[in-house]
Structure formats: structure tokens, C-alpha cells
């Protein structure tokens, strides 16, 4: 059995019934994997590359990951929080240094690291145009780290941003959380949560990651179920 260990934030994390219908990308990803692949989703809400390490959440992955496994590394949303020193990292400094620590965990155990850029937030202006992204410098930083550490990248940011641009403000709402009064604290009551995903959104973006892995080929493509349904699912929403 091969394992995908996933380090990330709330856009990736597994949810329980108490937060339904919120669904993380890592929670949905096993719909796309081969029968010999097990997803070990260690993503936690609100974490950055820094706080995930500081809270000793990377160390257990090091203890469990083995040769031939994979470490998917997907951060950015919380590294951006300048007003929170426990989470903030400079996108071209500490963020890259931290990403290198995740790479070392994988490679020291004979596993394969994979960088996955942040999924885009659903933020449109009054004219229905997708706003400039807060993720941009962190996407650049992750790509810089990919070159420095020779790690493959699945560019979910670009794929998700292209999708939102094509789909538009109203039609894209069904993929993101719709909050009922008192349901959550990260958005005003009754408003769309533009960061967190419903099951439909988790499946959509998990499919994009599967598409990226298929394009990488080799051992990365071998993680995916080799059937026509999955191949179609990874393209249906992206290509329309």
C-alpha cells in the first residue's frame, strides 16, 4: 500500500458532521486514487507552513512516512496573515525555507514531495470580474522553492483561477460554502464563504489536482485510478 500524506490548511482538511457540508480537497481526493493508494490527510484548519511545524504536526508525518510514499504540501492561505506572527511568513523568505523542511521530511524517508499551489478564493468585483489574488506572491514563492529543491508542482491556483474566471460570480457559488446563521465565524452570517468548499468544490479541485498529477506522468500519474470515469471527471468541470 502506498500512502499520500497531506500537509495543509482548511481548504484541504477532513471535516466531520459538525461542519457539514464543508469538505476539504484532501477529503475528496481518494475518489481519484488507485486501489493501492491510501490518503492520510493531516491538514488542519488555520495552519500555515510555520504554525504546522511549530505545533509539531510535521514530526508525526516524518515518523510514519516511508519509502515510496508521497507528501503533498499545500499552504499559502494562512501564511498571508501579516497580523498574526504565529502564522505569517514572507513569501520569498521564510515561506520557502519552511517548504524546504517539508521536502526534507519526505526525501529523508525515501518519499516523494509534491507542491500544490493554493486554491483561489471566490472574490469578484461589482462588475463580475475576478479580483486580483492575495495568493500571487505565495504561488511565486512555491514555484521558486520548487526550482530550488527540484520538486514537481501541481498549479491548482492557476487552474482554479481560470475556472472561476470562466464560470463567473453567480455560477461559482455552488462550489463554496453557503453559511446559515451561527454556522461559522469566518464570514458574516448568511453570506457566501469565499474560501471554504462544499463537496462539489472539493471534488472539482481534487479533480484538478488529479489532472495535474496525470500531466506530471510517471510515479505521480500512477497514483490515479486508471479508468475512463476518473479521466472524464478530472476534465469535465475544467473544460466545461
Q: What residues are labeled active site?
A: 10, 189, 196
Measured CA angle at 122 (ends 120, 126), to 5 deg: 135
Residue 197's DSSP bridge partners are 176
Please provide the DSSP assignment of 38-54 as one string. EEEE---TT--HHHHHH
Query: Which cell goes with 3?
Result: 500512502
Compute the residue count for the chain.
240
For residues 207 and 238, the answer to whether their CB atoms sit within 8 Å is yes
CA 104, distance to chain mean position in Å, is: 20
Order the strands of the 112-116 sheet from edge to edge: 37-41, 2-8, 70-74, 112-116, 153-154
> What stretch of H or E contains 7?
strand 2-8
* Cα distance between residue 181 and residue 209, in whole Å: 32
For residues 119 and 11, the answer to whether their CB atoms sit within 8 Å is yes
Task: Kindly calculate the radius of gyration of the chain based on its CA atoms and give it in whole angstroms.
Answer: 17
Amino acid at each position: 500500500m502506498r500512502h499520500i500524506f497531506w500537509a495543509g490548511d482548511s481548504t484541504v482538511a477532513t471535516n466531520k458532521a459538525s461542519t457539514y457540508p464543508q469538505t476539504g480537497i484532501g477529503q475528496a481526493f481518494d475518489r481519484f486514487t488507485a486501489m493501492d493508494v491510501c490518503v492520510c490527510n493531516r491538514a488542519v484548519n488555520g495552519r500555515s507552513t510555520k504554525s504546522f511545524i511549530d505545533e509539531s504536526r510535521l514530526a508525526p508525518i516524518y515518523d510514519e512516512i516511508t519509502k515510496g510514499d508521497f507528501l503533498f504540501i499545500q499552504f499559502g492561505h494562512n501564511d498571508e496573515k501579516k497580523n498574526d506572527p504565529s502564522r505569517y511568513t514572507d513569501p520569498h523568505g521564510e515561506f520557502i525555507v519552511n517548504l524546504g523542511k517539508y521536502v526534507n521530511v519526505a526525501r529523508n524517508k525515501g518519499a516523494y514531495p509534491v507542491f500544490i499551489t493554493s486554491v483561489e478564493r471566490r472574490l469578484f468585483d461589482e462588475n463580475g470580474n475576478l479580483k486580483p489574488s492575495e495568493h500571487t506572491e505565495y504561488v511565486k514563492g512555491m514555484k521558486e522553492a520548487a526550482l530550488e529543491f527540484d520538486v514537481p508542482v501541481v498549479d491548482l491556483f492557476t487552474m482554479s483561477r481560470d475556472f472561476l474566471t470562466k464560470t463567473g460570480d453567480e455560477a461559482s457559488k455552488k462550489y463554496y460554502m453557503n453559511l446559515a446563521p451561527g454556522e461559522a465565524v469566518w464570514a458574516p452570517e448568511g453570506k457566501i464563504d469565499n474560501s471554504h468548499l462544499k463537496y462539489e468544490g472539493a471534488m472539482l479541485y481534487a479533480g484538478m489536482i488529479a489532472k495535474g498529477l496525470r500531466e506530471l506522468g510517471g510515479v505521480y500519474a500512477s497514483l490515479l485510478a486508471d479508468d475512463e470515469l476518473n479521466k472524464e471527471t478530472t476534465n469535465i468541470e475544467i473544460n466545461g
